[in-house]
Amino acid sequence: MAKEVDLIKEKLDFVDFMRSYLTLLPAGRNFKALCPFHSEKTPSFVVSPDKQIWHCFGCGEGGDLIKFAMKYENLEFYEALKILAEKAGVAIQASGNRDFQANSALYKVMDAAKDFYKS
């Protein structure tokens, strides 16, 4: 499964993927946009093509393209992975449903821990 995730990340251009959802403005080596997860007037959502990550300095959300797809489209890990794999032209090996539920649960636990430590 990890190989497929890495392959998807390699094949999809991170900035083009983010542009399909947001209007990105150049900001040095990075790009800025208005955060889609909270209302704001000044862009605080930063996309780093070098690191292949995004982060909002307003609400504290961040992650990779899978996390963005999960949050923006309100999807579970496996659903987001299937959509991204289709866009990248990568075949996902169907391992047991238990693996995908575990990955989804891990994302939820990490989000809860992040929110706990943030507060």
Encoded amino acid at 104, one letter: S
The DSSP annotation for 92-107 comes to PP---HHHHHHHHHHH
Q: CA-CA distance, 17 to 43, in Å (whole number)?
A: 18
**Which tens digits make up the pLDDT trace of 26-66?**
999 999 999 999 999 999 999 999 999 999 999 999 999 99
Question: What is the phi/psi pair of residue 89, to 5°?
Answer: 75, 35
Q: How confident is the model at residue 100 (pLDDT cuts 50, 70, 90)?
A: low
Looking at per-residue confidence, does 99 or 93 come out higher? 93
| Confidence at residue 94, expressed as pLDDT on a 0 to 100 scale | 62
Q: What percentage of residues in the chain have a pLDDT greater than 90?
A: 53
Q: CA-CA distance, 63 to 47, in Å (whole number)?
A: 10
Q: Which of 2-6, 14-18, 19-23, 48-52 has the lowest mean pLDDT?
A: 2-6
pLDDT at 24 over 90: yes
pTM for this model (two decimals): 0.73
Handedness of CA 112, 22, 79, 52 (dihedral sign): negative
